[in-house]
A and B are shown apart, each in its own frame.
Chain A
């Protein structure tokens, strides 16, 4: 199991590598003029990466440390 600090770096790298996966040249690897299950490969690729990011972010959201001071709904004065 990863510690809090490592989880935070992992979340950062997820964001950075996620961005790279959406950008050329990586995305060009799937720009093949071919169809998978009748759908162009790059469409499948982008949506699969997207879904993967959603799932990974949900995983991280449950595990990242609770963020310090929770701000109460109406400020400290009420």
Chain B
């Protein structure tokens, strides 16, 4: 008989297994860099961290409430991977070239290594993800509750603990686990092979669990046809009537944005990618995985609605259906599957966010307050980074728990997840501009993300507290200070729309509009122009001459000092192996390379600040940057010149032809002229000859004529 105690013990055992996999995975990846752990298969499986307990439990609930609507969450990512060649491939290439460690790092690096943008993006991500983590806590808590309710043993040793206490316990355990997992060392490229191996294992577990439940439901319900027929007979709308409207489109847009912008997806898809060609396999295998995950969702929902007593929570059908049928083993599998999807999400999300917090918020503050590097001793920076990451993991999970606490009365899982999706979707316009629009400026990006965030917070985040806070409820009914057009779900008088569509439309529309307008009205700094070229033309740089961000010089001793603190003595020694140690000056190329290495550990903006403190001389020569930024411009100009030249040649040829024609005409005229002339000349010539002949025959003429003839000739 399943009891709450037993499933919790199972969960702890499962986490222990994960830890073992991560540990072994880490060691094997180090020992054998080309092995299975860096294969396209593992990469694809790890991307499916996209499927959280929202997919495992929430999708069924969503299908029970809104029919096919749950599919939109998987169609968007499918489309992004179908189009991998155009967006994901470019992201991965840039991340490799520039040692990008997170979404915040990507945007900050593209927009002139701006620390302000990085801080902004990090803060928004931390706030935006809190509901998502709350969703996982809620799912795990409810699944333990569902088992406790069905079991004769009741809540076992958790008898006195309510939902909130249970969620707090889950959050604390997850925080501890993630800290043990993800912050053992600072990797040069923020890759965590062990974690990826564990996530890939979890992907297999949740897929098998969900398919097992699906097969059981199909078997118990007597096949697809019988399940749909029974649901129709009970007046359940099985035809997804009026699903394919505004809300369907908005959810597709959100899921497209989420698969690119969610910190954990960025971490797994872009940062943990060790070979661009793995994307090739993932491009079809990941959509295939999503298809399998959502194949049985609708039958499970319909079967649950027809066979379980009215009023059961549809979000827990995956668990309660086998429980109701007395299938204890299957129910345990379902619990483990749901637990596994929650843990994988929390681990990766917390690691990704903690990297952002430590690199973009803690590091810059430390760099600024210690005004140099001498303040800490020993392995200073490295230890500081790890500690700040541990602290931020705790903070992130606490925020998730806090959100859960405030909104504990809301029932459905999916709407909570959509709040987070809409939050991180505010990065999408800036990311697209970063990849494809050379003229986008840092001011444009900062304003756009801020505007999008404010609209999102006002129209979606705040209203989610409606049930728990009377102030918010009043705000939503009347608007702030009674201002009608500022009501969160009817901004600027746009009422009558679905709240999700309303918020997504206003936030993304104003976000993009701000990005475009501000970018057009402001101008880029030299560093921005340089970075813009590196990003937009990521595929055109075949020569790979490393641009020099820093001119001027620094002694290799100073640089070694910096590198040692961030990268650790061992890696620093390897990096400096080819250089003269005795205080010689270093080349700009080497400084650029060092900066990229440091950026891999602490983010581009921090690395830039750190090195500019050591490197003396002007940070960057304007002409040099202009020259490099104009590299492509020159190529374009050259090809335009070629085009112009060939046009000129063509017109010359045309002129030649005309001239040729004229010549031929003139030639003809000459011929005509000559023939005419020769005719005109021939007539008198003939006459003269005839006269001459007459004269030669003169003896025969009479003597009277010669005088007349002579007169004629004179």
CB <8 Å contact, B225 and A33: no
The answer to whether B244 touches A19 (Cβ under 8 A) is no
Chain B neighbourhood of A75, CB < 8 A: 96, 99, 188-189
- Structural contact, A15 and B239, CB atoms closer than 8 A: no
* Chain A residue contacts of B248, Cβ below 8 A: 23-24
Out of B96, B226, B544, B593, which one reaches A77, CB within 8 Å?
B593
Q: How far is the CA of A54 from the CA of B290 in the complex (A)?
A: 10
B-chain residues with CB within 8 Å of residue A11 when the two chains form the complex: 83, 85-86
Contact of A47 among B34, B97, B295 (CB under 8 A): B295
In the complex, per-residue mask of A6-44: 1 if CB is within 8 Å of any chain B CB, else 0: 001001101100110011100110011101011110110
List the A side residues contacting B544 at CB < 8 Å: 69
Q: Mark A49-71, 1 if CB is under 8 A from B, else 0.
A: 01101111110110010111111
Interface size class of A (residues with CB under 8 A): 35 or more
Cβ A73 vs Cβ B281 within 8 A = no
The answer on a CB contact under 8 Å between A73 and B275 is: yes
Provide the residues of chain B in CB contact with A66, threshold 8 Å: 277
Task: Give residues of chain B (57-88) contacting chain A, Cβ–Cβ below 8 Å.
Answer: 68, 71, 75, 78-79, 81-86
8 Å CB contact of B93 from A18, A56, A71:
A71
Interface residues of B in 222-252 (CB under 8 A from A): 223-226, 228-229, 238-241, 244-245, 248-249, 252
How far is it, in angstroms, between the C-alpha of A19 and the C-alpha of B244 when the chains are bound?
13
**What chain B residues lie within 8 Å of A43 (beta carbons)?**
68, 240, 298
A39 to B120, CA, bound (A): 48
Question: Given A14-B82, A15-B86, A42-B68, is A54 in contact with B287 using a C-beta cutoff of 8 Å?
Answer: yes
Determine if A28 and B38 form an interchain contact, defined as CB atoms under 8 angstroms apart: no
Is there contact, CB below 8 Å, between B33 and A73? yes
CA distance A3 to B638 in the complex (A): 26
A57 contacts B275, C-beta separation under 8 Å: no
Question: Is B597 in contact with chain A by the CB < 8 A criterion?
Answer: yes
Q: Please tell me if the beta carbons of A23 and B280 are within 8 angstroms of each other in the complex.
A: no
Task: State the CA gap A74–B600 with chains docked (Å).
Answer: 12
Closest Cβ of chain A to B187, distance in Å, is 10
Q: Which residues of A contact B78 (CB under 8 A)?
A: 18, 50, 53-54
User: In the complex, A53 Cα to B593 Cα: how many Å?
Assistant: 41
State the Cβ distance, A12 to closest chain B Cβ, in Å.
6
**In the bound complex, how far is the Cα of B641 from the Cα of A53, in angstroms?**
43
- Asked if A57 and B240 make an inter-chain contact with CB atoms under 8 angstroms apart, the answer reads no
Within the assembled complex, what's the spacing in Å between the Cα atoms of A14 and B284?
Answer: 13
Which residues from chain A contact B99 at a C-beta distance below 8 Å? Answer: 75
Query: Contacting A39 at CB < 8 Å: which of B34, B188, B224?
Result: B224
The answer to whether A77 and B244 touch across the interface, beta carbons within 8 angstroms, is: no
Task: Please determine whether B244 and A68 come into contact, CB atoms closer than 8 angstroms.
Answer: no
Which residues on B sit within 8 Å (CB–CB) of A70?
275-277
A35: nearest residue on chain B (CB-CB)?
B228
Q: Is the CB of A22 within 8 A of B252?
A: yes
The residues of B that contact A31 with a CB separation of less than 8 Å are 239-241, 244
Chain B residues, Cβ within 8 Å of A54: 78, 284, 287-288, 291
By a CB distance below 8 angstroms, the chain B residues around A12 are 83, 85-86
Least CB distance, B207 to chain A, in whole angstroms? 15
> Cβ of B542 < 8 Å from any Cβ of A?
yes
Known contacts: A22-B75, A67-B276, A73-B33. The answer to whether A28 contacts B83 by CB under 8 A is no
Interface status of B459 (Cβ within 8 A of chain A): no
Tell me the residues in window 278-307 of chain B with beta carbons closer than 8 Å to chain A beta carbons: 280-281, 283-284, 287-288, 291, 295, 298
Contact assessment for A57 and B291 in the assembled complex, using a CB-CB cutoff below 8 Å: no
- Is B509 engaged at the interface, CB distance under 8 Å to the other chain? no
Q: How far is the CA of A70 from the CA of B224 in the complex (A)?
A: 46
Interface digits, B666-709 against A, CB 8 Å rule (1 contact, 0 not)? 00000000000000000000000000000000000000000000
- Per-position contact with A for B249-273: 1 when CB-CB < 8 Å, else 0? 1001000000000000000000000
Which residues does chain A contribute within 8 Å of B391, judged by CB atoms?
A: none
Smallest Cβ-Cβ distance to B33: which chain A residue: A73
- Known: A33-B239, A46-B68, A54-B288. Is A64-B245 also a contact (CB below 8 A)? no
**Nearest CB on A from B635, distance (A):** 17
Listed residue (B78, B85, B225) with the most chain A CB atoms within 10 angstroms of its CB: B85
Instruction: Name the distance in Å between A31's Cβ and chain B's nearest Cβ.
Output: 6
Chain B residues 86-119 with CB under 8 Å of chain A are 86, 89, 93, 96-97, 99
> What is the chain B residue whose CB lies nearest that of A30?
B244
Tell me which residues across on chain B come within 8 A of A56, comparing CB atoms: 82
Considering the chains assembled together, what is the distance between the CA atoms of A40 and B593 in angstroms?
Answer: 58
CB distance A57 to B284 under 8 Å? yes
User: Would you mind naming 27 contact pairs between A and B with Cβ atoms under 8 Å apart?
Assistant: A12-B85, A14-B83, A19-B79, A23-B248, A24-B248, A38-B223, A38-B228, A40-B228, A42-B239, A43-B298, A46-B68, A50-B291, A51-B291, A53-B78, A54-B288, A56-B82, A57-B81, A57-B284, A67-B89, A67-B93, A69-B544, A73-B34, A73-B274, A75-B188, A75-B189, A77-B574, A77-B575
